[in-house]
Amino acid sequence: MRYLAMFSLFTLFAARSAGAFPDPKDLPKNPDVPNPLVMFDGTKVTTKEQWFDKRRPELKALFQHYMYGTIPPAKGITAKILHEDPKAFGGKATLREVSLSGVPGHEFRLLIVVPNGRKTPAACFVGPNFSGNHTLADDPKVAVTSAWLYGKEGKATEAGRGMNKDTWNLEQSIDRGFAVATFYPGEVDPDRADVRGGIRPLLPKELETTSIACWAWAVHRCVDYLVTLKEEVDPKRIISVGHSRLGKTVLLAAAFDERIAMTIPLQAGCGGTAPSRGKIGESVKQINDRFPHWFNTNFKQFNEDTSRIPFDQHSLVALCAPRPVLFPNAKEDQWANPDGQFEVLKAADPVYRFLDAGGLDAKEVPPLGKLLDSKLGYFIRDGKHSMTLEDWRAFWEFAEKHLGR
Ligand code: GCU
């Protein structure tokens, strides 16, 4: 037993000094969630400096190596305003679409609405949407995306205009004083294993990336743009928000970019906010089989044995510390494992406490419809897998509590 332990430690050291992590099958089994405050080589993290200078970079490397693939490099952006309406929603907001380019030869469109007449710059939600910018507002100038879209036809049409206004609730966010910026991630990387386009063909061949990493990259490019809007958007109050696969995306985006002040991954489930070692809802094997383009090749090697994953999703949350994180859920959405998600927050709590940043102030899941608004926050409502006005009310409340009005 001891020999085995020493042997595996030796392999780990050897692999590390060779500049790489071991093959998934050579990682030690650990049925419990790995302690985020212990380095890959077993060293305990005892100071905040060690957390920020050593353990955080190591966790970022581990998540990219074993799960999400590499987030494409940041090379700055160019932004071009496509159209603007300074009197949107009856004069309450300015609405514009901006073409953003962060890879030569590629662009995607960001839709942004900013409340008019505020004395101070607004806090801003940013995140990817499922159905195209034109489905979120009635303005006929908001372009119908030409990228591949879900559904039988595989493309967006004029018929969808304004159709999903009640998922993003742009006007209601404006009324509450928030700006919102959103894009269709299919313009960055189509959500299919067999359709390419977007940025991937333009990236270096040796870079192993994934859809989730590319979409997170795009969230970062939106932040590049938002921080230039000093009059309109407060660069210290940017909140990443997304639903489901796009919730996985915004959690990853926040974990890797400290300019994001808060993150709200809604019903993100497996590969996002639920434990990979979890026993309820979607498993690592199921998600890898159905969506092979979301995660990298190494991640598939954990299909039969998640106990070898050298982290779990609480460590992705820990990468966000000391920033606030809210996990909203729906009771009927057991596929996303709401109870397991609460355990993920519990397991991230020690890192928040270690950094004197508060944490999860409850031992049990709060009652339906009642927001637990501690630094690590949780919300569960009745109903199904969806993004609703009730969810947005929790988002606004949580954002106002932690970032101010
Ligand atoms: C599927 C998938 C989930 C994902 C969800 C979504 O249900 O299994 O992992 O979160 O789609 O993105 O809506």
Question: In a structure prediction context, what are the per-residue pLDDT tens digits for the chain, which is 405 residues long?
Answer: 344 444 444 444 444 444 589 999 999 999 999 999 999 999 999 999 999 999 999 999 999 999 999 999 999 999 999 999 999 999 999 999 999 999 999 999 999 999 999 999 999 999 999 999 999 999 999 999 999 999 988 999 999 999 999 999 999 999 999 999 999 999 999 999 987 899 999 999 999 999 999 999 999 999 999 999 989 999 999 999 999 999 999 999 999 999 999 999 999 999 999 999 999 999 999 999 999 999 999 999 999 999 999 999 999 999 999 999 999 999 999 999 999 999 999 999 999 999 999 999 999 999 999 999 999 999 999 999 999 999 999 999 999 999 998
> Which protein residues are within 6 Å of ligand 1, measured from CB?
244-245, 269-270, 282, 287, 335
Q: Give the model's pLDDT for residue 19.
A: 52
Mutation probe of ligand 1 site: the residue of 68, 282, 295 with most atoms within 8 A of C-beta: 282
CA-to-CA distance for 83 and 92, rounded, in angstroms? Answer: 17
Distance of CA 246 from the midpoint of ligand 1 (Å): 9
Residue having the nearest C-alpha atom to atom 8 of ligand 1: 287
Angle between helices 211-226 and 245-256 (to 10 degrees): 60
- d(C-alpha 356, C-alpha 296), whole Å: 34
Both tokens of 321, joined, read: 């510390």
Distance in Å, CA 224 to ligand 1 centroid:
28
Nearest to 21 by CA among 301, 295, 317, 304: 301
Integer Cα distance of 113 and 93 in angstroms: 6
Ligand 1 centroid – CA 250 distance (Å): 14
Contact 177, 115 (CB under 8 A): yes
CA distance 217 to 206: 17
Q: Could you tell me the distance, in angstroms and rounded to a whole number, from the CA of residue 394 to the centre of ligand 1?
A: 22
Per-residue exposure over 281-316, b if at least 16 CB sit within 10 Å of its own CB, e if not = bbbbeebbeebbbbbbebbebbeeebebbbbbbbbb
Domains of the chain are 2-68 (no CATH), 78-403 (3.40.50.1820)
Distance in angstroms between the alpha carbons of the first and the last residue of the chain: 57
Q: What is the pLDDT of residue 252?
A: 99
**Atom number, ligand 1, closest to the C-alpha of residue 248:** 10
Query: Ligand 1 centroid vs 244 CA: distance in angstroms?
Result: 6
d(CA 31, CA 283): 15
Q: Which ligand 1 atom is at minimum distance from the Cα of 245?
A: 12
The catalytic site residues sit at 244, 385
The closest-lying atom of ligand 1 relative to the alpha carbon of residue 270 is 9
Helix pair 56-63, 245-256: axis angle to 10 deg: 150
Tell me, what's the pLDDT at 100? 98
* In 321-391, beta strands by DSSP E: 325-330, 376-381
What pLDDT sits at residue 393? 98
Atom of ligand 1 nearest to the CA of 247: 10
pTM value is: 0.95
